[in-house]
């Protein structure tokens, strides 16, 4: 029996660098992982490409997807829908790939409810001070936006207990390897190897019948 | 806050090589692990040393340990008691070491009940056929004993679902590294890092107060 992939939910504060960590993970282990691309009704920003950052769809199209149960989870932020298309996720899992969903806590909890075997990772900078520094050093955000993000981070921090693993992103390369190690180890969980356990049990039963 | 060690329960079929794996793990990472030595009322076999393989005690002494709650778990097999002395385990965990208990499923389940955060590993040979080969190749056991062990293995196989991880011991060195990786990853569990999560949450709250 072919091994099924793990459905991974990756969340983290804005500025924790989870996007960079996931990109590097895919680059280093292209055969192991697949990144799910979300669908959204918000407009593409400069530099964003349909099918890369998001699938950009109309509200009517999105509501059709909901009606036809074509999303594994979706949520509405402000006036826009965001959701995870089902087909890609299911195909990649069946093919044995570990599928990464980069989504926020609201979606993460819905995934855990629907797929109890999903693996929830929370990526955090080493400290809040470091998070603030990173946001400031980007130089692209106004102080107001930085304050809003830190406030948002505080709210999000109350959801961390719902995640399985807490991974600190101090050095990118170490963090990537740590995420990869966690997923590799998760493949050894008894609950993910029931067919192996059954195989050895059957084989042992054969011996006892005195062949 | 100093990190607490993980209480590890390691079980496996007789012949799976778990003893060898644990010895090698301790040799490679002496600062990370501590091996708990069980107390027993059975007589030492040739070559066994008090305090190394077991602490050999009298039945009266063992029953005193039970009465004084000095064992984290104990069981009786045939006419002999086997148990895990509490003090050593608690001291080593406090010192941040991951403590290995090499015990059978009966004891493993008692540990999980008392210490829900304990990590249960089941070590298995790659197949039942390989297990039989290993038992035969030892050359020290009669065919009757081998048959009895395989029968016992079959019974034990029905308890594997109670364990957290299923580790296949094909090549010793790989298996040792896999066990080490699993324990290292387990240290990243959110439930084992609540103080870190609280720290960052407090720090973020400080920012919001507009310092």
All structural domains of chain A with their residue ranges? 7-36+98-208
Question: What would the pLDDT profile of B75-94 be if each residue is shown by its tens digit?
Answer: 888 889 999 999 999 999 99
CB contact under 8 A, B200 and A164: no
Rounded to two decimals, what is the model's pTM? 0.91
Strand order in the sheet with A33-35: A33-35, A98-102, A7-12, A119-124, A165-168
The 10s digit of each residue's pLDDT in A89-136 is: 999 999 999 999 999 888 999 999 999 999 999 999 999 999 999 888
Contact: A204, B165; criterion CB under 8 Å: no
Q: Is the pLDDT of residue B209 over 70?
A: no
Environment class of B142 (CB within 10 Å of its CB; exposed 0-12, middle 13-18, buried 19+): exposed
State the pLDDT confidence band at B192, using cuts at 50, 70 and 90. Answer: very high
Q: What is the arithmetic mean of pLDDT over B137-161?
A: 89
How confident is the model at residue B206, as a pLDDT? Answer: 87
Give the pLDDT confidence score for residue A206 in this predicted structure: 86
- Segment B150-169 mean pLDDT: 94
> What's the whole-number average pLDDT of chain B?
93
pLDDT at position A2: 64
Considering only CB atoms, B208 lies closest to which of A151, A164, A196, namely A151
Residue B106: pLDDT over 90: no
- Please provide the DSSP assignment of A123-144 as one string: EE-S-HHHHHHHHHHH--S-HH
For an interface test with A, give the residue of B3, B10, B128 to mutate (most A CBs within 10 A): B128
Cα gap A66→A60, rounded to integer Å: 10
Nearest to B167 by CA among B102, B120, B97: B120
User: Between chains, do A190 and B163 touch, taking CB under 8 Å as contact?
Assistant: yes
**Which positions in chain B have a beta carbon within 8 angstroms of at least one beta carbon in chain A?**
122, 124, 127-129, 131-132, 147, 150-151, 153-154, 157-158, 160-161, 163-168, 178, 181-182, 184-186, 188-190, 193-194, 196-197, 199-201, 203-208
How far is CA B51 from each of CA A46, A151, B14, rounded to the nearest angstrom?
70, 56, 22
Structure confidence at residue A211 (pLDDT): 46
Shortest CA distance to B41 belongs to which of B52, B60, B56, B53?
A: B56
Q: Over range B43-63, report the average pLDDT.
A: 94
Spans in chain A with pLDDT lower than 70: 1-2, 208-211
Q: How far is A107 from chain B (nearest CA, A)?
A: 19
B128-138 helix and A194-208 helix, angle to the nearest 10 degrees: 50
Residue burial B26-61, b: 16+ Cβ < 10 Å; e: rest: eeebeebbbbbbbbbbeeeeeeeeeeeebbbbeeee
B17 or B98, greater pLDDT: B98
CATH superfamily of A7-36+98-208: P-loop containing nucleotide triphosphate hydrolases (3.40.50.300)
Q: What percent of chain B has pLDDT over 70?
A: 97
User: What percent of chain B shows pLDDT beyond 90?
Assistant: 79
Looking at residue A15, its pLDDT comes to 83
């Amino acid at each position: 029996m072919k091994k099924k992939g793990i459905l991974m939910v990756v969340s983290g504060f804005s500025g924790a660098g989870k996007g960079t960590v996931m990109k590097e993970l895919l680059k280093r282990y292209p055969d192991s992982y697949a990144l799910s691309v979300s669908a959204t009704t918000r407009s593409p920003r400069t530099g964003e490409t349909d099918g890369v950052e998001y699938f950009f769809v109309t509200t009517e199209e999105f509501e059709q997807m909901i009606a036809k149960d074509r999303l594994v989870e979706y949520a509405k932020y402000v006036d826009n829908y965001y959701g995870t298309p089902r087909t890609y996720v299911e195909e990649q899992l069946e093919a044995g790939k570990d599928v990464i969903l980069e989504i926020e806590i609201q979606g993460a909890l819905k995934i855990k409810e629907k797929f109890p075997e999903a693996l929830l990772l929370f990526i955090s900078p080493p400290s809040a001070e470091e998070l603030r520094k990173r946001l400031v050093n980007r130089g692209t955000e106004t102080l107001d936006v930085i304050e809003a993000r830190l406030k948002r981070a505080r709210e999000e921090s109350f959801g961390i207990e719902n995640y399985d693993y807490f991974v600190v992103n101090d050095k990118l390369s170490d963090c990537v390897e740590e995420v990869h190690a966690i997923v590799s180890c998760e493949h050894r969980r008894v609950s993910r190897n029931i067919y192996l356990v059954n195989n050895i049990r059957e084989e042992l039963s054969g011996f006892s019948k005195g062949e």
